[in-house]
Structure 1
C-alpha cells in the first residue's frame, strides 16, 4: 500500500520515495553564492512554496543531484522544478541531456519559464498543481 502524502482538491497524492541520489560534493562550494544571487524568478517562486505554503509540500531550493544543481526539489515526490530564463538560451542540448539524466534517476521534471513566473504566477501554480495530480495521484 502506497503512502498518501497530501490531498489536492480531494485527490490523494502519493509519496514517491527516492532513496539514493548521486551527489557531487564539489558543487557545495558555489551554492551559497548561487542562493545569494537572488534571481528574481526564483525568489518569486520561493516565496510561494517556502515553509510548506503550497499544499504543505516541502520544497528544497538549489539542491545538488549528481553533477547538477536543480532550482527546486521535492524529496517526498521526487519532483524537480526548473526555471527557464535567458540563461538557458542556446543550451537546449545541454538542458535535454541534463533532464534525461535526472529522469533516468526516476525523477519528474516540471519546467517553468521566467516570463510566466513574473507575469502569470497564478497560472504557473495551477499548472504545477495539475502536474502533481497527473503524475502522483495514481
Structure 2
C-alpha cells in the first residue's frame, strides 16, 4: 500500500510531542536519526496513531518505549497498534528508553541490520 492515512486532527498533539521529546527520543534523534541517510519524521501521525519516528523511504517506524508501555493494557494496545501499522506495509521496531540511553551503539547496529540491502 502506497497510501498511509494521515490524521490531521493529530497534528497539534504531534507538534506538542516533538517539543517535549523524552530524553531517549532526543538522544536517538540528535545522535543518529536526524542525520540518517533517508528523511526521518519525528512524531508522525499515521492513521489514528502518532509514531515516534518514521522513515517513508524504508517504510520503517522506530518506537522508543517508556515504562508505561510495559503495563498489561499498554502491551495489548501496542500489539494491536503494531499489527495495524504492519498492515500498511510498515516495519515497526521497538526499543526501550533504557536501551537507547545506555546502549545507543547497540540500538544503531540493530536498526542497520534491519535495513534492506542497498537501502
TM-score w.r.t. the length of structure 2 is 0.90
State the structure with more CA Rg. Answer: 1
Q: Partner of 1:137 in structure 2?
A: 117
Segment drifting more, 113-122 vs 20-29 = 20-29
RMSD: 1.4
Q: Which among 37, 46, 66 is matched to residue 47 of structure 2?
A: 66
| Cα distance in 1, alignment partners of residues 66 and 86 from structure 2 | 21
More helix by share: 2
Aligned length: 115
CA distance in 2: counterparts of 1:71 and 1:62, whole angstroms: 5
User: How far is the alpha carbon of 1:34 from its aligned partner?
Assistant: 1.1
CA contact (8 A) 1:82 1:112 kept: yes
Shift of 1:78: 0.6
The gaps in structure 2 that reach 5 residues or longer are none
Q: The residue matched to 1:38 in structure 2 has which SS?
A: coil
Q: Which ranges of 4 or more aligned residues in structure 1 deviate by more than 6 Å? A: none
Query: For each residue in 1:5-37, what CA deviation from the matched residue of structure 2 results, as whole angstroms up to 9, or x when unmatched?
Result: xxxxxxxxxxxxx62101111111212211111
Deviation of residue 89 (structure 1)?
A: 2.4
Structure 1-normalised TM-score? 0.78
Shift of 1:38: 2.6
Matched, 1:96 2:76: no
